[in-house]
Amino acid sequence: MDSLTPEAVRDAARDFARETFSGHKYVFVLHEDTDSPHVHLAVKAERWDGIRLHPGPAELQRWRERFAARLQDRGVNAISTRAASRGQRKAPERLWRVKAAGKVRVPRPSERSPESVARHRAEALESWKNVALALAKSSDPSDRNLAADVVRYVDKHFGDGRVPDRVPPRPDRRGPDIERG
């Protein structure tokens, strides 16, 4: 079997979402920013006819198995294992319990440097631009309207007071691969 390629992950995710979430609105995005290409999938719980998703542990396992099967269809050696098969004996402590016990503390720098503030601001701006570009390319008019809202938001919080007609793409970097169902 071949190695994991971004195309295989994207195509497997597309087929998985179509067969699993028929009637639901969903969106997924392919990320190639790590050593392992991966997809983030968001699904609207309520289907067009009012039926809602209520996945429990067994259903989530079936989804993992179905996605692994779609990867296998593309020559990727993928399997879905249960936690017990991986040697995990107990579920991790619920995050709300950890926070309530005061175990989670987010360290904050005592002083932020102007360089780090500028770097984080530039990264945020780049992310907003990618979101606007992806929405602007959609065939759905409501997505294109949302793209214009994003541009106005970016201009208000990052800009110089004028609203650009469009957010210019960066020629050296391809935006995320977003699909809707």
Structure tokens at 164: 């650009």
pLDDT tens sequence across 45-96: 999 888 899 998 889 999 999 999 999 999 998 888 776 555 555 666 777 7
Task: In whole angstroms, give the CA distance from residue 116 to residue 57.
Answer: 41
Per-residue pLDDT tens for 91-142? Answer: 667 777 777 777 665 555 555 667 766 777 777 778 888 888 888 888 888 8
Contact 179, 14 (CB under 8 A): yes
Q: Transcribe 72-115 into DSSP letters.
A: HHTTB------GGGGT--SPPPPHHHHHHTT-------SS--HH
% of the chain with per-residue pLDDT over 90: 29
How far, in Å, CA of 143 to CA of 132, rounded? 9
Alpha helices in 57-101 (DSSP H): 57-73, 95-100
Distance, CA of 156 to CA of 150 (rounded, Å): 10
Q: Which helix (DSSP H) or strand (DSSP E) does residue 147 occupy?
A: helix 141-158
The pLDDT of 12-28, averaged and rounded, is 94
DSSP SS3 for 32: coil
Question: In the chain, what percentage of residues exceed pLDDT 70?
Answer: 73
